[in-house]
Amino acid sequence: MENTNDALHIEPAWLGEVEKETGIGVSACYQCKKCTNGCPVTFAMDIYPDQVIRLVQMGQKERVLSCSTIWVCSACETCTTRCPNGVDVAGVMDYLKETAVRRGADIPQSNTYTFHRTFLDEIRKLGRISEAGLIRNYMLKSGVLRKRLQDGSLIGDLLLGWSMFKKGRMNLLPKKIKARGEISKILK
Amino acid sequence: MRKVSYYPGCSLEGTARDYSESIHAVCRELGIDLEELEDWNCCGATAAHSIDHEASIELAGRNLTIAASKGQDLVVPCPLCFNRLKTAEKARSFYNQKTGILDLADFMSRDDILDLIESRVTRPLSGIKAVCYYGCMSSRPPGITDAAACENPTSMDRIMDRLGAEVIPWSYKTDCCGASHVIARQDIVLELVKRLYAKADAAGANCIVVSCQMCQANLDMYQEKICRKFETEYYLPIIYFTEMIGLAMAHRGVKTWFSRHFVEPDRLLAEAGLV
């Protein structure tokens, strides 16, 4: 019988795959929820960190890869630090983000993903990050620039940028490193 | 003269210019020679470890390869860079440093440097009631950072104590500020930082001392916006510990560093009698 309900679609082999690729013992989790209780950003998540881990254990791949939580995680490492079973929860979140990108479907927190992608593009170009260039290119690529132009909120961003410039906290002449060839090999 | 290798990280060439200036000024005064790694590259930061694990190790690792040839400790002011370099060191044996990778605040709070700092204090920071805010990355996870007390770091507390400030204990030393979420999910940062202000204020602090340029930016640049959004009123200057060392040494650069802040410390200094 074919089941089209993603929530019930289970890939039992996935847990082993995740553990093998990350070296993280996800199956050691016994759901004490210490990760979720210490997490500072649960208020912005659609499912809790302990549920992410449980769903990985259960092979609910599609459901985990399409959740917002993995992108809302701020990588503060509190969960990883406190887990009594040594599960690197934040490391699992990273693995899931990378897997979600690789599978090609829509990313629920697309601006966060666009920010990361733009960040890596900037490193590829310069070898370092120029914050001014990063923000400008992020706003162009994500469509945030157009949206803020339309709703009139761009003025706030411009004023902040101007203040940063006046205070000498914005570097408009980014330094390029010499070894950019090496960097672009790393970031293929 | 004590010599160490130095990896500044990208922010110190931009938004954290005040951090960079105060580090160089203070270290010069203390006889610490910071040798910047030649042609260093971005550590990859949150972006790389989020969507390209392999690159996150190799980007950080390239800097370790450069550092290894120097045969001296590598000091890192940015906690995120520090964390990424330590991660690379532990992930690949060929990046393994025979010398240490050190968080700047940890390095500066070693006993001998503390004594040195104290000996240079000409204007004790009485009237400064500080909570030290460490953020995430110099502490967690301890398997990566080798932090001695990851839930209760004390490096900046010990430095501030030697500077003559009143150091106030609080429970939010290592709570997250939301970091780079400030760009794509600013709502998350505003919520987290609002809580930090409230807790610092409740503890009786009149400023927040930091060692992370991401924390500084998030707590300093949006203070007015957060107060407006949540209808609160806080005046909490967000000051780097190196700026505080400079202030206690009566360093002439202090005025310039502080002019780069959004929440200008003038009123705090006047109230504390430090002008």
| Interface mutation target, options A24, A37, A81, A113, chain B, most CBs of B under 10 Å | A81
Contact A169 B16 (CB under 8 A): yes
* ∠ CA B7-B258-B171, rounded to 5°: 75
Q: Do B41 and A75 touch (CB under 8 A)?
A: no
Cross-chain Cβ contact B42/A95 below 8 Å: no
Closest CA–CA distance from residue B142 to any residue of chain A (Å): 7
Residues from chain A contacting residue B150 (CB–CB below 8 Å): 81
Distance between CA atoms of residues B181 and B23, nearest Å: 26
Task: Provide the phi-psi class of A65: left if phi over 0, else alpha when psi is between -120 and 50, else beta.
Answer: alpha
CB-CB under 8 Å, A179 with B39:
yes
Q: Is A142 on the interface with B (CB under 8 A)?
A: yes
A105, pLDDT greater than 70: yes
- Whole-angstrom Cα distance, residue A68 to residue B51? 15
A168 contacts in chain B (CB < 8 Å): 17, 260
* B32 strand-pairing partners: B2
Tell me how far apart the terminal alpha carbons of chain A are, to the nearest angstrom.
42
- Per-residue pLDDT for A4 more than 70? no
Write out the two tokens for A66.
Answer: 């399409």
B101-133 residues labelled b (16+ CB within 10 A) or e (exposed): bbbbbbbbbeeebbebbeebbeeebebbbbbbb
CB distance B41–A127 less than 8 Å?
yes
Report the complex ipTM.
0.96
pLDDT at A3: 47
pLDDT of residue A1: 42
Judged by a CB distance cut-off of 8 A, whether residue A145 touches chain B is: no
Give a three-class secondary structure readout of chain B: CEEEEECCCHHHHCCCHHHHHHHHHHHHHHCEEEEECCCCCCCCHHHHHHHCHHHHHHHHHHHHHHHHCCCCCEEECCHHHHHHHHHHHHHCHHHCCCCCEEEHHHHHCCHHHHHHHHHCCCCCCCCCEEEEECCCCCCCCHHHHCCCCCCCCCHHHHHHHHCCCEECCCCCCCCCCCCCHHHHCHHHHHHHHHHHHHHHHHCCCCEEEECCHHHHHHHHHCHHHHHHHHCCCCCCCEEEHHHHHHHHCCCCCHHHHHHCCCCCCHHHHHHCCCC
Which residues in chain B are contacts of A147 at CB distance < 8 A?
none
pLDDT tens-place string over residues A17-34: 999 999 999 999 999 999
Q: What is the pLDDT of residues B120-161, one digit of tens each?
A: 999 999 999 999 999 999 999 999 999 999 999 999 999 999
Residue A88 has pLDDT above 60, yes or no: yes
Say yes or no: B175 contacts chain A, CB-CB below 8 A.
Answer: yes
Q: What are the tokens at B11? A: 């922010």
In this predicted structure, what is the pLDDT of residue A7?
A: 59
Please give the domain boundaries of chain A with CATH numbers for all domains: 6-103 (1.10.1060.10), 110-186 (no CATH)
Tell me, rounded to whole angstroms, the distance of Cα A32 from its chain centroid.
Answer: 25
For tokens 């590829």, what's the residue? Answer: A124
Count Cβ atoms below 10 Å from residue A40 Cβ, excluding itself: 19
Contact of A123 with chain B, judged by CB distance below 8 Å, is answered with yes
Average pLDDT of the residues in A126-130? 96
Q: What is the pLDDT of residue A171?
A: 85
B226 at the A interface (CB within 8 A)?
no
How far is the CA of B239 from the CAs of B150, B183, B202, B235, B244, in angstroms?
22, 22, 18, 12, 7
Q: What is the mean pLDDT of chain B?
A: 97
Within its chain, how far is the Cα of B257 from the centroid? 15
Scan residues 240-269 of B and list those with Cβ closer than 8 Å to A. 259-262
Q: Which residues of B touch A78 (CB under 8 A)?
A: 136, 140, 174, 176
Spatial CA neighbour of A94 closest among A74, A114, A118: A74
Give the model's pLDDT for residue A81.
98
List the single residue in A98, A116, A178 with the smallest CB-CB distance to B39.
A178
Q: Which residue does chain B place closest to A160, by CA atoms?
A: B221
Does A115 contact B13 at a Cβ distance shorter than 8 Å?
no
Q: Of A137-141, A173-177, A182-186, where does mean pLDDT reach its minimum?
A: A173-177
Taking the Cβ of residue A40 and every Cβ of chain B, the question of whether any pair is shorter than 8 Å is answered with yes
Is B188 part of the contact surface with chain A (CB cutoff 8 Å)? yes
pLDDT of residue A2: 47
Percent of chain A surpassing pLDDT 70: 96
Mean pLDDT on B179-192 = 97
pLDDT of residue B95: 81
Chain length of chain B: 275
Cβ–Cβ contact B153 with A under 8 A: no
DSSP single-letter state for residue A6: G
pLDDT at B93: 83
Mean pLDDT of A85-100: 98
Rounded Cα distance between A53 and B156, Å, is: 35
> What pLDDT score does B46 carry?
97
Those residues with Cβ within 8 angstroms of residue B69's Cβ, 6 or more apart along the chain or in another chain: none
Sequence length of chain A is 188
Structural domains in chain B, CATH included, are: 2-108 (3.40.50), 124-271 (3.40.50.11810)
CB–CB of A111 and B184 under 8 A? yes
- Within an 8 Å CB–CB cutoff, is residue A131 touching chain B? yes
> Does residue B163 contact residue B115 with C-beta atoms inside 8 Å?
no
Q: How do residues B216-267 score in pLDDT, each as one tens digit?
A: 999 999 999 999 999 999 999 999 999 999 999 999 999 999 999 999 999 9
Nearest CA in chain B to A74: B178
> Can you tell me the distance from the alpha carbon of B102 to that of B109, in angstroms, rounded to the nearest whole number?
11
| Contact between A115 and B184 using a beta-carbon 8 Å cutoff | yes
Q: Is B187 on the interface with A (CB under 8 A)?
A: yes
